[in-house]
Amino acid sequence: MKKARERITLSLSSITVLSVTAAALVAVIVCVAVFAGVYSRALKRDAVYSAEQTTAQTAMAVDNYINSMQEKLSLIKEIAESDNGSADISEALSNIVYIQSDIYCVTVYGENGEILSCTGNGTLKENVYSDNSFDKELFSSGDKIFISAPHVQTLFQNEYPWVVTLGTKTSTTAFENGRYIAIDFNFTEIAKYINNIGVGSQGYCFIADREGNIVYHPQQQLLFSGIKAENTEILTSLKDGTHTESDIIYSLKEVNNKKWRIISVTYTDYMQTERRTQVLKSFGITMLCSAVILFAVFAVYSRLVNAPVKHLIREMKRFETEAEAFTLNHGNETVSELKVISDSFEHMTERIKKLMAQVLDEQTELRKTELKALQAQINPHFLYNTLDSIQWMCERGNTADAAKMVSALARLFRISISRGRELITIREEIQHAENYLLIQSYRYKEQFTYSFEVDPELSECLCNKITIQPLIENAIYHGLDRHIDEGKITVTVRADEDNSGDILITVSDNGIGMTEEQCEAILKKHRSDSSGIGVKNVNDRLKIYFGEQYGLSIKSELDVGTEVIVRIPRLKGDNNAT
Amino acid sequence: MLRKISAAFMAIILVLSLTACREREEKKSRITVIAKAVNSNFWHRVRDGADAAATEYNVDFLFLGPENEEDYSAQIELIEGAVRGGTDAIILSAIDYERLSEVVDKAARTGVRILTVDSDVSSRNVSTFIATDNVKAGRAAAEAAVSGFSSQSEIKIGLVNYYESTENGQSREEGFKEYIKSVPNAEIVCKETADSNTESAAAAAERLMTEHPEINVIVGFNEWLTLGVGSAIKNKNAAGRIRAVGFDTNTVSIDMLEKGEMDALIVQNPFAIGYLGVKCAVGLLNGETYSERQYTDVVAVTKENMFDSEIQKLLFSFED
């Protein structure tokens, strides 16, 4: 039960750490989630914006090309329709073709595509197998100026350049039956321009017509072989502008009088990975930053709260073990609540210490008073028996002995009372013991003898009154009373040999002796008749007056005898004790 | 305590700066194409394809190659230079299958991804090999050769292949023979070997025509042999009588096609090879994997379809 409780016990600091960490973690996750959403939207917006811009720029460039081509066409048309002779016109045309690098050739066609004149820089083929530049349908469509899709030009020997043909009807008279005039412009420039347009991190531009047919695609060699495909269905259905279809952003803008459209394609699936790494990165950085902040917070917290709390706990434990000598060591108490607790605790310990001292004093006083009362008491059995003996002596006419008994009894009481003094000289105490033994020796006729060995130097030292008498009483009643041989009681007073100053008073008998248990019991037990001063009381009294190291010790051996040793400090008597 | 905190701060700053560095490095991948040659039509179009992919995938791209198509030591230098220059991936067309493997392995050990196109190299470190499926190309040539005949007429075929036992020519011939076996009225009558140049091929083709006057199909197995076959037919005035099939394109062979001296050309798609090379390199750098071999298709071009809008896109590249 106790173990189980201990297991779920958490320290204040760990609870704080856990809760703060949890809160920080939740905050970070929420922040990163919000950031990821915002970042993702921004990324997509940027991609859409850049696709739009790129498409618009490309459209403008292509339109510029087409406009300049149209201008050149009208210029050449003017030349062709001038009144000059065909030779002059041919020369003028060949000059223009020579100078204008983007013009590949100028051709005058008859009604059905007969080549009436072709001015270019190469050598014309003798047999033209297929003239890709002349598209009957387109030429007769009625447009003022018509533009073909890019195609390979096949009129010149060993040359197959990519061109775009611009043509218009002509009323030239220089070439007989001339119905159309057409210029083949090099398409390479436009192609290169479009080839080099990258859109976003992954994307490109191409040109398609309104029907979804691809006019020019930088990867057109892949489209045929199936490695790549453009979704023409979607492209025809989409209006101009920017559209996002699943992972692809399409941006469309019309050029060439709405006949063509520039289409940019941006793949956004790479954004997913980019966003994931970005989110992870920012998550990591945020975690690191919050870890740093947490670390700092904990450092401060530990310094301000944790350490003082632990210090206080240590102080409390110390108070438990050593309450009397305790004084509170104040730790670092910056936090006001902890200061209050600490101060209250200090106040409490002081109060407890005072109360403890008070209780101790009161107890001691009480004991002293009690012991005094006991000292003053005369064992009524003893008095009765003594008086009984005196009476008996008087009846027998043994007045001398009776007088001795009475005088001994009187001295006994005088010393017992001692004008209320607690401490008397050893000499007086010995007298008291002698008187007692005298009285007792009358009662126990010739049953024991007694002797005193007192160091005369110590006879004026002080000791508690009625210290020896209870020990003698104990020796007589418990040691000699049941003894068959003649008993012998010896009282010695001497200085302790090894311990400087202490006085040892020994009461020894040759009685039946005691077991160790009895020895211990006698020091703990009140006298059974509960009157007079028992051995325990003597011991208690000595300890109360002189301290724990003083008091009684008993050595005893069965059938050999008992020796009770009293240890008291050496106090030179001036009879000043109370 | 204070020391601990400052140490932690230092560590964090270090980590952050390291990630910042890495971010800068990852900004734009660098891909180097090392070709067998830089001047041929085929490699120009490989470069165009690679360029298109580099534009689409927004990577830096460099196209290099030796002056001479036999100079493998120049290729070794180019690979070493590219590795020193900090390229992320190398797309290699190996001049020598064996002698380049050491430098390729060395480059791979520094973390550079290696891809091969057109001609493979002997190395385990090649991530993927992208090329024309030559067996399939041979089959396409055979199909084009017999397509001009009715099922009753007997088809007698003469082959002109080149001496060197290169993998390309053999695979094409293998595919060709395999297809012819399935055509009951066709048989390969004779075969001549020639050097890989127009004159030698023309001589070989003329020999075939005089020694085996019954043949009505001649096949040349690479660009130069094709030109030789074409000129032999022109010299012998055999256009229309003998059906000529060749490989690859250039303006001369297209002109022959237009004039009827050649009847079919099997055209590879070098643009697709270049494009796929760069696309796969980007994919590899982003942690994707590809099959060991990837093949691009071929197209049989004839006089009839050569100016179809799709075929002309494949057949004619933009001049520089």
A152 Cβ under 8 Å from any chain B Cβ: yes
The partner residues of A572 in beta bridges, in order of sequence, read A461
Per DSSP, which regions of A426-533 are E strands? 448-454, 462-464, 487-495, 503-509
Task: Say how far apart CA B97 and CA B122 lie, in whole Å.
Answer: 6
Are residues B255 and A158, on separate chains, in Cβ contact within 8 Å?
Answer: yes
Query: How many Cα atoms within 13 Å fall on the side-chain side of residue A489?
Result: 30
pLDDT, greater one: A283 or A454: A454
Task: Say how far apart CA B180 and CA B191 lie, in whole Å.
Answer: 14
Q: Which two tokens stand for residue B54?
A: 């580099």
Q: Are B272 and A225 in contact (CB under 8 A)?
A: yes
Backbone angles phi, psi at A165, to 5 degrees: -100, 125
Share of chain B above pLDDT 90, in %: 53
Task: Say how far apart CA A246 and CA A266 lie, in whole Å.
Answer: 11
Are residues A204 and B272, on separate chains, in Cβ contact within 8 Å?
Answer: no
b/e per residue B52-61 (b: at least 16 CB within 10 A) = bbbbbbbbeb
- Is the pLDDT confidence value at A82 over 90? no
- Is the pLDDT confidence value at B128 over 80? yes
Q: Name the DSSP class of B311.
A: H
Backbone angles phi, psi at A24, to 5 degrees: -65, -45
Contacting B residues, span 187-216, partner chain A, CB-CB under 8 Å: none
The confidence band for B125, taking pLDDT boundaries of 50, 70 and 90, is very high
Q: If you measure CA to CA, which chain A residue comes closest to B271?
A: A221
Mean pLDDT of B112-135: 92
Residue entry with tokens 């000699």:
A480
A201 Cβ under 8 Å from any chain B Cβ: yes
How far A122 CA lies from chain B's nearest CA (Å)?
14
Paired sense of beta strands A448-454 and A487-495, if any: parallel
Neighbours of B4 (CB within 10 A): 10
Three-class DSSP category at A256: coil
For A89-109, how does the pLDDT look when each residue is reduced to its tens digit (9 = 90+)?
888 888 988 998 889 999 999
- Is the pLDDT confidence value at A509 over 70? yes
B275 Cβ under 8 Å from any chain A Cβ: yes
- Is the pLDDT confidence value at B1 over 80? no
- pLDDT at position B25 is 44
Q: If you measure CA to CA, which chain B residue comes closest to A191?
A: B318
Contact partners, residue B48, CB within 8 Å, separation at least 6: A221, B271, B274, B317, B318
H/E stretch holding B317 reads: none
Query: How many Cα atoms within 13 Å fall on the side-chain side of residue B277?
Result: 40
A159 Cβ under 8 Å from any chain B Cβ: yes
Contact partners, residue A413, CB within 8 Å, separation at least 6: A378
- pLDDT at position A274 is 67
Among candidate residues B229, B211, B309, the one with its CA nearest the CA of residue B265: B229
Paired sense of beta strands A248-255 and A214-216, if any: unpaired
Q: Are A352 and A525 in contact (CB under 8 A)?
A: no
- Is the pLDDT confidence value at B302 over 80? yes
Helical residues (DSSP H) of chain B, grouped into ranges = 2-25, 41-57, 72-84, 101-109, 134-146, 167-181, 198-211, 223-235, 251-259, 270-285, 309-315
Task: Say how far apart CA A435 and CA A427 lie, in whole Å.
Answer: 12
pTM score, whole prediction: 0.65
For A155-174, how does the pLDDT look when each residue is reduced to its tens digit (9 = 90+)?
888 888 899 999 998 888 78
Q: Are B174 and B161 in contact (CB under 8 A)?
A: no
